[in-house]
């Protein structure tokens, strides 16, 4: 069986070598018409891949392999008859690292120390530890579990929350309906949930008001999980702090009130943008190639249009 695979970058093409017999890899950045009428496996560009999905109209394909875990809004951009898989297994490690990094930076004033370093100022500050803090982890999928694993050595009181309550691998996972009872005792809230209507503003004004003074919101999921206007109000009041890899709107425009707001640390949606991504996306694409060659069901299918 012959198999044609398109990838957006020559570097990813090289990462797929050596190729199985019968597999041809071409580079297509999806910024122009498709180079073939048949491309069995299409890998769109990272982060901007949704812009070119309409170019798949008229292309015979067996699988479109996204490079992100999130896929909200993707189905509307795909032509009919497309099977789409997300990139579960690719970004969990890198995103979890950043979640812990943002939490530590906010707790131990590393952002302020970076400013002091540039200014040549010696300004010690008393800090809240990460150890002994009660951490509410909203989302217990791949990223949430990776965050939980990395928080374990920090001796936190971890409270996982998911769509439904359950016991999993000896860990009590609380249901999202328990949030009103859990928030008043949470010192840190880490959000790893996917986007979409079901999770939009899951942390809104009422939820922020329920948190104790000084609580920290860490968002590495999707920006709309948090009501931005409500967050700005609570941060301005000195009640809440935030460390965000994702925002709403995104990118955060110039002059937005979150910029420069004391108690807010912002990363420009770089949770998955590390050297950990490249070998993992290559490994996933290799596995998908093997599945297609064997006429097996691909991994991570989330959309069939």
β-pair type (166-168, 171-175): antiparallel
Instruction: Judge whether 174 counts as a catalytic residue.
Output: no
CA angle 302, 45, 79 (to 5 degrees): 50
Catalytic residue among 62, 91, 174, 222: 222
Q: Give the closest residue to 185 by CA, choosing from 241, 135, 131.
A: 135
Tell me, yes or no, if 250 is annotated catalytic. yes
In the sheet where 301-304 sits, what is the strand order? 23-27, 3-7, 41-42, 63-65, 83-85, 301-304
110-119 helix and 92-107 helix, angle to the nearest 10 degrees: 70
Q: Which of 213, 244, 212 is nearest to 228 (CA)?
A: 244
Torsion of CA 272, 276, 277, 280, to 10 degrees: -140
Does 17 participate in catalysis according to the annotation? Answer: no
Is 138:161 a contact under the CB 8 Å cutoff?
yes
Say which of 91, 174, 241, 269 is annotated catalytic. 269
Task: Please pick, among 150, 250, 256, 287, the residue that the annotation labels catalytic.
Answer: 250
Instruction: Tell me which residues are annotated as active site.
Output: 222, 250, 269
């Amino acid at each position: 069986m012959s198999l044609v695979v398109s990838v957006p970058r020559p570097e990813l093409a090289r990462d797929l070598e050596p190729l199985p017999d019968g597999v041809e890899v071409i580079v297509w950045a999806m910024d122009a018409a498709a180079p073939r009428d048949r491309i069995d496996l299409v890998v769109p560009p990272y982060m901007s891949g949704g812009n070119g999905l309409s170019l798949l109209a008229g292309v015979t394909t067996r699988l479109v392999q996204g490079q992100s875990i999130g896929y909200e809004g993707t189905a509307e951009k795909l032509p009919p008859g497309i099977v789409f898989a997300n990139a579960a297994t690719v970004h969990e490690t890198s995103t979890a690292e950043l979640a812990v990094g943002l939490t530590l930076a906010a707790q131990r004033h590393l952002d302020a120390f970076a400013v002091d370093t540039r200014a040549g100022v010696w300004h010690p500050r008393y800090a809240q530890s990460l150890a002994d803090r009660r951490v509410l982890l909203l989302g217990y999928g791949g990223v949430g579990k990776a965050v939980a694993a990395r928080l374990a050595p920090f001796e936190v009181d971890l409270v996982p929350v998911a769509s439904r309550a359950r016991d999993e691998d000896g860990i009590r996972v609380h249901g999202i309906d328990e949030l009103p009872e859990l928030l008043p005792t949470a010192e840190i809230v880490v959000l790893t949930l996917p986007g979409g209507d079901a999770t939009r503003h899951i942390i809104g004004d009422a939820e922020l008001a329920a948190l104790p003074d000084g609580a920290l919101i860490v968002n590495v999921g999707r920006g709309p999980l948090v009501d931005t206007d409500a967050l700005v109000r609570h941060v301005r009041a000195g009640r809440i702090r935030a460390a965000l890899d994702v925002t709403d709107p995104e990118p955060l425009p110039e002059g937005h009130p979150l910029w420069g707001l004391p108690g807010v640390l912002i990363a420009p949606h770089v949770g998955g943008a590390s050297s950990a991504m490249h070998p993992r996306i290559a490994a996933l694409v290799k596995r998908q190639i093997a599945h297609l060659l064997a006429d097996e069901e691909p991994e991570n299918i989330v959309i069939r249009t």
